[in-house]
A and B are shown apart, each in its own frame.
Chain A
Amino acid sequence: MSQATAQNIPLSFYEEKSAYPGIFAWIFSTDHKRIGLLYMFTILSFFLFGMSMGFLIRLEKMFPGGQFFQPATYNALFTIHGVVMIFLFVIPGIPAVFGNFILPIQLGAEDVAFPRLNLLSWWLLVIGALVIFLSLFTGSKLPDTGWTFYAPYNTITTANIPMAVFGAFLVGFSSILTGLNFITTVHRLRAKGMTFFRMPLFAWSIYATAWIQILATPVVGITLLLVIAERFLGVGVFNPSKSGDPLMYQHLFWIYSHPAVYIMVLPAMGIVSDIIPTFCKKPIFGYKAIAFSSMSIAFIGYLVWGHHMFTSGMADLARVVFSFLTFFVAVPTAIKIFNWTATLYKGSIELRAPMLFALSFIFLFSIGGLTGVMLGTLNLDLHLHDTSFVVAHFHYTIFGGFGFALFGGIHYWFPKMFGKMYNETRAKWAWLLLFIGFNMTYFPLFLAGLEGMPRRYYDYLPKFAPYHFWSTIGSWIMISGILFMFGNLLHGLLRGEKADDNPWGGSTLEWQVPSPPPLVNFTTPPVVNKDPYDFSDILKKRNSSPTPQDQEDKGGQ
């Protein structure tokens, strides 16, 4: 442990005095670390809410026929589950939490480029979320459109759709401002010597994501405003009875929402690219290839949205073109997966909790990605579209990808953020429960989908019963894992031992500042003169004097 004398240790950002008392010191703070933590607690609360909806959906489908809810309530449950999970949890997700907390420190900066704008982004998310929740109780029924708000149903249902989409619009604004902040931060606030190719790959991924946030989000913003204009002003945009084009809604929606998939997954890949070298103690294989693949995923992500619309009546030419283009996304993604695997080769692998999450990310995201290639194949999609195969596919990419990376990131940066350590044995058990439960919940849905089980159906034929039964049992195991994991983290937060400044032997800049960091991050501005994943100094130091953490681990295992 780094037990420096009291006068050597600068005050951590928790201990700095604020102009505001109590909770106001947080919700009016412009410090990127406080805002990152605000985001973390906000989106994890939304996650727990969305997870409860998911639990109820699975409970309802455990056996054929109605169990606990009316069909209309079931429709509302999956709509709310989707809207909350996508707009309030996954989209703000990693950029909002770790982009805020970690990115400026990784770049050697004091804060993001526009701290006040950063605080406004959080407020916009919270206000947007409140508007979305308010919409649930202010219509003549609960929203039942699914998270995609497809036209023309969105213009005729009596649920309070305009309010829900306005909430989503506000949340989108938060996303745009966050992206703007990060692009400027990366361009303007890098420390001396921190060239673009010395940035950690997490910073590269946040940079690529920020471009998508800025360029794609306005499209859905305008689309959602057009929905509102159609409802209130009677303008015929999407509703065919007013000579609108419902397919145009799908185009506009997916022009945003497909790149948005990469808003979710690119930062997740960034976290994995940081975790793997740290726990292999060797430089990442193909640094530039991974950095450029992030940028190319961000670009190719704009060219493939039509694969969500293969069965919607789009022109044949467009279907062929979009199917062809979709395969290109697999290339940069595969580059990353091969490079991570190559990094493991002959590495000194430590299977610590964050590493387990990162490795399971590679496994689960590969399944999600490869089934995505299946769905991008035009002829196969005609059979699989709108089946539970699609549900399984996107849960493997978004939960198996984004979710596992987020949890991995929380375990990886927890000691840095809170200066405390969680119980690692319990963290590993929680991971195991989560991993088993996850596969048990979603893998059966692939099989059911292949046999024709439609998605979003309240009831189903008896032949699908075993799949749904085991999926529901799996969801209980998964939820137990998640609750156990959060319990362990909370326990670490309240009662955990003090963490080292660099407990994992990480090489990037955030591991060179105290845990938790001081308000300005660096007491003297850092000068960078080596590659981000150069472990030579750390290994030299470790070999000469094993840290107490190492000795503890050897004793405990």
Chain B
Amino acid sequence: MEHHDNQQHLISYGTYITVWLSLLILTGLTVAVAGVHLGKYNVFIALLVAAFKSSLVLLYFMHLRYENRLFHAMFLVVLFTITVIVALTYVDTLAR
């Protein structure tokens, strides 16, 4: 078990480049959407894209995808907490 944990998973350059290109495209999407007036939905789209991008970085660049399930669970706890916090903040700002 421990031996398995310590094994390094090799990720091909192709995957890295695909992820990098996806990040660039998603950044372009954020910039493009910011120029379109969608009211309160602008923020939601920006947050969704940002969450997706950070997930890509964590999963591939930081190898989370190939890690123990415990780390996946921990990551989901963090993501869930942040989602709740952002949602509760918007209970104020959207209803103000």
Contact = CB atoms under 8 A, between A and B. Distances in A.
Contacts of A251: 89, 92
Given A314-B92, A316-B95, A215 B84 contact: no
Contacts of B94: 315
B81 A315 contact: no
Contacts of A299: 81
Contacts of A321: 88, 91
A318 B85 contact: no
Nearest to A321: B91
B47 interface: no
Interface string A186-229: 01000000000000000000000001000100010000000000
Contact of B92 (A187, A215, A219, A315): A315
B91 A303 contact: no
Chain A contact residues, majority secondary structure: helix
A302 B81 contact: yes
B70 interface: yes
Chain B contact residues, majority secondary structure: helix
B96 interface: yes
A303 B84 contact: yes
A315 B89 CA distance: 10
Given A187-B70, A315-B95, A315-B96, A306 B78 contact: no
Given A247-B92, A315-B96, A317-B91, 20 more contacts: A187-B70, A219-B85, A248-B93, A251-B92, A255-B85, A255-B89, A299-B81, A302-B81, A302-B84, A303-B88, A306-B88, A306-B92, A314-B92, A315-B92, A315-B94, A317-B95, A318-B92, A321-B88, A321-B91, A322-B88
Nearest 7 pairs of A and B residues by beta carbon:
A318-B92, A315-B95, A317-B95, A315-B96, A318-B91, A315-B92, A314-B92
23 contacts: A187-B70, A215-B82, A248-B93, A251-B92, A255-B85, A299-B81, A302-B84, A302-B85, A303-B84, A303-B88, A306-B88, A306-B92, A314-B92, A314-B96, A315-B91, A315-B92, A315-B94, A317-B91, A317-B92, A318-B88, A318-B92, A318-B96, A322-B88
